[in-house]
Copies of this chain bind each other. A is one copy, B any other.
């Protein structure tokens, strides 16, 4: 008696509503500017999508966000919905989407908030399709949402947010083909500390000189390659020596009051390395044990407070955290 025990739902099992949770992410990872990122546990955005009868139409039903966060009401300009408009059109979806957004990730924190909304929107909407796409195919639509917020196509937050883990984004020109999961030694943990103030991503980009001295390019490349080799070889000492951003961090550190003290605190607590999360102002550290993670979290937080940060929050996470999930 096939099908016994399953509820009879008359032909196709259609969902009328789906909620997706997409995690915060740490992009750049110090030495991988615009090409590396990983998902973290404990913080994320939630987007709930309902079907409507209006094919191709995307409506924003509501937004729950901390005070002071101005979320665009126009679906074409909202990071959680812009990708859905393309998805609905390109796949000729025979219904519409109504979207509720719950922002968990502080805006301008350097923790991939716009990527998380973009991913959660697309993942939730996909669950409502008669034939949902495989996860990798959603990258394209999530990137559209992210681009609305950041002004350009960057996959280093979106890819790990969608797929989980630590990701190398060689290119997004050909879909997910050049998005490569990197191995993460089991003992690695991440500490992320957010000082509570907002740093605009565009301002952080503007702080970067348009050119890189060739010698610095070589040093940064050597560290990037060392980091990858260290991860593949499970050589944490090599990972630690290589997790040293000699290019971007020196240019952005002055935008983050207390950065140098926070970094010193992390390394003093035993962290393998410490740098700016995404465009900042959050700071991340990689550590090789839970004990060091706790110590680093406390001392990094204290250092931010000593530098005047008003509402410091901090998280400890594996670097192999899951990507976006559909909540049942």
**A34: Cβ under 8 A from any B Cβ:** yes
Specify which of B180, B211, B220, B242 is in contact with A221 (CB 8 Å cutoff): B220
Report B-chain residues with C-beta under 8 Å of the C-beta of A208.
Answer: 214
Report B-chain residues with C-beta under 8 Å of the C-beta of A33.
Answer: 217-218, 221
**A212: Cβ under 8 A from any B Cβ:** yes
**A128: Cβ under 8 A from any B Cβ:** no
**A58: Cβ under 8 A from any B Cβ:** no
**A229: Cβ under 8 A from any B Cβ:** yes
**A224: Cβ under 8 A from any B Cβ:** yes
**A287 → B minimal CB distance (Å):** 21
Number of interface residues of A (CB under 8 A): 36
A178 close to B212 (CB less than 8 A): no
A225 close to B170 (CB less than 8 A): yes
Q: A238 to B176, alpha carbons, bound, how many Å?
A: 12
Chain B residue nearest to A33 (CB atoms) is B218
Within 8 A of B (CB), among A170-221: 170-171, 178, 180, 182, 208-214, 217-218, 220-221
B178 close to A225 (CB less than 8 A): no
Specify which of B211, B218, B228 is in contact with A211 (CB 8 Å cutoff): B211
Chain B residue nearest to A183 (CB atoms) is B232
**A35: Cβ under 8 A from any B Cβ:** yes
Besides the known contacts A33-B218, A34-B222, 14 further A-B residue pairs in the complex with CB atoms under 8 A apart:
A33-B217, A35-B218, A168-B226, A171-B222, A171-B226, A178-B226, A178-B238, A210-B214, A211-B213, A217-B217, A225-B225, A228-B228, A228-B232, A232-B232
